[in-house]
Amino acid sequence: MQKTRVLHQSDIFQAVELIKQGGLVAFPTETVYGLGAPIFLRKSIQRIFDVKGRPSNNPLIAHISDLDQVLRIAKNPPEVFFKLADVFFPGPLTIIVEKREDVPDEASGGLSTIGIRMPDHPIALELIDALGVPLAAPSANLSGKPSSTCVEHVLQDFSGKIAAVIDGGPCCLGIESTVLLLSEQGPRILRPGFVTQEMLSEVLSIPVQIGSKEQGGYSPGTQFRHYSPQATVKLCYQTQPEQLKPHAKKQIILKEVSQSNLFASLRKADQEGYDEIVIICTPEMQADSALMDRLTRAAEKKD
């Protein structure tokens, strides 16, 4: 058991030292906290999967701070990659392209592709810049649990198991990046996020598909149960909560859930010992495909 240190922006050089020595460090981004290791450091990458309990075929995203780093990990990235990067980097978009052979298979979950994202957060950018290599990082939560949007969440899941977390306060967006696959079949969203289908189509001037397994949209991460608190999550599409039947179990009704407070609300309900979380899905929420994606997956039945 190690003591997990809580570092601040002024301590980034210490975070860099810990990472170079093989330690795992969680860091803030504008979406959620990430748990990072240099992409070429196989041992540390392996540790990320171990501490998260993450299936080894679920690939990590490579976080960059400069477009020059793209060529160290991507093989002949297409022009559209740079067109999108020009508009959306830094920001909540991950773009999947063919990877270079020397990018460890451990990081890419055995796939020949790699997701690339430049986070829009000064701490993340400074950290990657100081390391000088892309930082492979999944969201900083135990596999299957809600992502972490503040330091307390990271410590709930990893206290004593990782070297440090850098405190950047609460993440401003609160849900993970949009994941976009670029392939010969055209662009396809594998995970909805703040950057929408419409925003992407407008920049690319071609339609962008929404991926599903049947249509060949393949994201290993979407096959697993996800975002789930201990409590059972139920979605309610009636806006009048009094229509809900009273329940024997310890139940909380959440009425104003948004992208930015979703994961914090789920984690808080667990901390407070609720058995069941009922979420009222207003028409406004139902129009938010990224939010509904996370909600429906959080509400999937436990095996």
Q: Which of 240, 264, 265 lies closest to 254, judged by CA?
A: 265
Residues in a beta bridge with 74: 99
Rule CB under 5 A: is residue 108 a binding residue for Mg ion? no
The distance of closest approach from Cβ of residue 149 to ligand TXA in the complex, given in angstroms and rounded to an integer, is 11
The distance of closest approach from Cβ of residue 236 to ligand TXA in the complex, given in angstroms and rounded to an integer, is 27
The distance of closest approach from Cβ of residue 14 to ligand TXA in the complex, given in angstroms and rounded to an integer, is 20
Among ligand TXA, Mg ion, none, partner that 60 touches (CB below 5 to 8 angstroms by kind): ligand TXA
The distance of closest approach from Cβ of residue 102 to Mg ion in the complex, given in angstroms and rounded to an integer, is 25
Q: What is the DSSP letter of 228?
A: -
Residues in a beta bridge with 253: 278
Among Mg ion, ligand TXA, none, partner that 195 touches (CB below 5 to 8 angstroms by kind): none
How far apart, in whole angstroms, are the C-alpha atoms of residue 156 and residue 141? 9
Q: Which of 80, 76, 116 lies closest to 100, judged by CA?
A: 76
Q: Which residue has the tokens 């055995």?
A: 110
Question: What residues make contact with ligand TXA under the rule CB under 6 A?
Answer: 29, 31-32, 34, 58-61, 94, 96, 108, 111, 113-115, 117, 119, 137-139, 176-177, 179, 190-191, 218-222
Nearest residue to Mg ion on Cβ basis: 139
Rule CB under 5 A: is residue 4 a binding residue for Mg ion? no
Q: Which of 37, 29, 16 lies closest to 136, judged by CA?
A: 37
Q: What angle do CA 284, 288, 290 make, to 5 degrees?
A: 155
φ and ψ at 106, to 5 degrees?
A: -60, -40
Q: Which stretch binds Mg ion (CB under 5 A): 12-20, 96-104, 136-144, 150-158?
A: 136-144
The distance of closest approach from Cβ of residue 13 to ligand TXA in the complex, given in angstroms and rounded to an integer, is 22
How far apart, in whole angstroms, are the C-alpha atoms of residue 44 and residue 233? 34
How far apart, in whole angstroms, are the C-alpha atoms of residue 73 and residue 66? 12
For ligand TXA, the closer CB: 60 or 254: 60
Among ligand TXA, Mg ion, none, partner that 259 touches (CB below 5 to 8 angstroms by kind): none
Nearest residue to ligand TXA on Cβ basis: 221
For Mg ion, the closer CB: 72 or 297: 297
Give residue 255's Cα distance to chain centre. 24
Of 44, 139, 148, 178, the one binding Mg ion (CB under 5 A) is: 139
* Interacting residue ranges for Mg ion, rule: CB under 5 A: 139
